[in-house]
Amino acid sequence: MAETTAGFTRRDILRFATASLTLLVTPLARGGAAPTLLAVRVWPANIYTRVTLEYSAPLSQPLKFTHLLLKDPDRLVVDIEGVEFNSVLASLPGKILESDPQIRLIRAGRFKPDVVRLVIELKGEVKPQIFSLKPVGEYSHRLVLDLYPAEPPDPLMALLDKHGDSASVQPGQKPLRQAEQPEIQRLVTVVIDPGHGGEDPGAIGRGGSYEKNVTLAISRRLKAKIDAEPNMRALLTRDGDYFIPLNQRVAKARRVRADLFVSVHADAFIKSTARGSSVFVLSENGASSSAARWLANRENSADLVGGVNFGVKDPHLARTLLDLSQTATLNDSLKLGRAVLGEVGNINTLHGGRVEQANFAVLKAPDIPSILVETAFISNPEEEARLVDEAYQDKMANALLAGIRRYFAQNPPVARSKIARLD
């Protein structure tokens, strides 16, 4: 690796030097307690690519960094102070996939003593967010580089792209083909939310399976089945291995004016004998059991593990917390929950006989009936083996679909003007 230039043109160096001169001359307090890079991870996705640098910080000081965006071609340059260039950092360039939507390649090298430079060559313009995370769960300190495309992909467009023809079905129009159960007379949108993702693996089974992978596999199957139904379509909150904050999952569902929101998870408990499926809805006033409260706390901690940039105000947050006194929505959530629990009970033992309630952050859309399904216990070796089995994932997706259909059959969707909006 080039000692000083790390592949820069002279023009870059001049521009960069002007911008960061003051920082580069600041000496660092060291003395044997320097941070050391422990791991680097890259999570590419259409909505953003995340690069995570995990490091030990004996003095609990977050890494100091400066960054600079350059044009023609688009690049992001990040200088990190006080770390040595080691083999962990040297492995970063090799972790960039050719298919990464944002990053073309990364160069990393020692720029000066005590300063490591990353040059991220981009595929287009990005709006970076760079921030530090304190140790949580299994993780030590993290420096996170989130690269958002300057032109963010639109979830509404994603729906239209994939369902060009069906999106033009008008309210009251006959369905394209007969369903076996009562027909749904207008196009309904189900948002499926595969729990966890990216930095947040969710629960980990004794056999090494990650909840985030199981939830995505089941959710993808469910989406395909919903899309094959007349007058139903589905959107995934994530369709890859990356992290999305809980409130953004809710915001995405509201953005496409979803009729239903189904969050897919796999449970875990200290005792490996715990087993069975559960369905949860939101509770505004306390949990229906201490286990439900415990679980909601664990699921809500996804934001800490996954890594939210709390320095950025989320404009959606205020809106999703607006009005939780929507008892009509909650009643519908309970109906949906019972319908799904009934169907899931046909393929797996139920952990409890009823729909449970707790304060799940991801169920807080005030106007969309929402449930969270703990498909099975990934901490139970027998259920873990089933959760990673494709045939069982398919069975679970069928059960979820049957529950959703049963709900719509008993609670036909009312006409809305939203189809026109989607057109």
CB nearer to Zn ion: pick between 100 and 199: 199
At residue 236, the 3 state secondary structure works out as strand
CA 408 to chain centre: 27
- Minimum CB separation from Zn ion for residue 331, in Å? 25
Choose the stretch contacting Zn ion; rule: CB under 5 A; options: 23-31, 98-106, 277-285, 291-299.
291-299
CB 120 within 8 A of CB 12: no
Output phi, psi for 39, to 5 deg: -160, 150
Q: What order do you get walking across the sheet with 356-358 strand by strand?
A: 232-236, 188-194, 260-267, 370-377, 278-282, 356-358
Q: In the complex with Zn ion, which residue's Cβ is closer, 249 or 335?
A: 249
Interface characters, 339-378, with Zn ion (x: CB under 5 A):
----------------------------------------
Structure-token pair, residue 52: 């995570």
Provide, rounded to whole angstroms, the least separation between the CB of residue 143 and Zn ion: 26
Q: Measured from the CB of residue 118, what is the shortest distance to Zn ion in angstroms?
A: 32
- Least distance (Å) between residue 268 CB and Zn ion: 8
Report the alpha-carbon distance of residue 248 to residue 307 in Å, rounded.
Answer: 13
Judged by beta carbon, residue 8 or residue 377, the one nearer Zn ion is 377
Closer to Zn ion at the Cβ: 75 or 212?
212
Binding status of residue 195 toward Zn ion by CB under 5 A: yes
The type of residue at 290 is: S
Closest listed residue to residue 345, CA positions, set 369, 390, 381, 376 = 376
Contact range with Zn ion by CB under 5 A, out of 72-80, 135-143, 242-250, 257-265: 257-265
Interface with Zn ion by CB under 5 A: which range of 27-35, 158-166, 246-254, 264-272? 264-272
Question: Considering the rule CB under 5 A, would residue 403 count as an interface residue with Zn ion?
Answer: no
Number of chain residues interacting with Zn ion (CB under 5 A): 4
For 263, the 3-state DSSP assignment is: strand
Q: Which stretch binds Zn ion (CB under 5 A): 2-10, 153-161, 261-269, 304-312?
A: 261-269
What's the closest the beta carbon of residue 196 comes to Zn ion, in angstroms?
Answer: 6
Q: Binder to Zn ion among 141, 223, 265, 364 (CB under 5 A)?
A: 265
19 or 204: whose CB is closer to Zn ion? 204
| CB 282 to Zn ion: min, Å | 16
3-state SS class at 17: helix
Please identify, using beta-carbon distances, which residue of 306 and 413 lies nearer to Zn ion. 306
Give the nearest distance from C-beta 371 to Zn ion in angstroms: 13
- Check binding of 202 to Zn ion (CB under 5 A): yes
The upper half-sphere exposure of residue 149, i.e. CA atoms within 13 Å in the direction of its Cβ, equals 15
Which one, of 44, 37, 13, lies nearest residue 116 by Cα? 37
Calculated CA dihedral for residues 262, 236, 137, 206, nearest 10 degrees: 80
Nearer to Zn ion, 213 or 326 (CB): 213
From the list 128, 158, 114, the residue with the least C-alpha distance to 23 is: 114
Within 13 Å, how many C-alpha atoms sit on residue 29's CB side?
A: 4
Closest CA to 108 of 94, 97, 121, 119: 119
Which of the ranges 27-35, 99-107, 188-196, 334-342 carries the binding residues for Zn ion, by CB under 5 A?
A: 188-196
* Tokens describing residue 298: 């664990």
Site residues for Zn ion per CB under 5 A: 195, 202, 265, 299
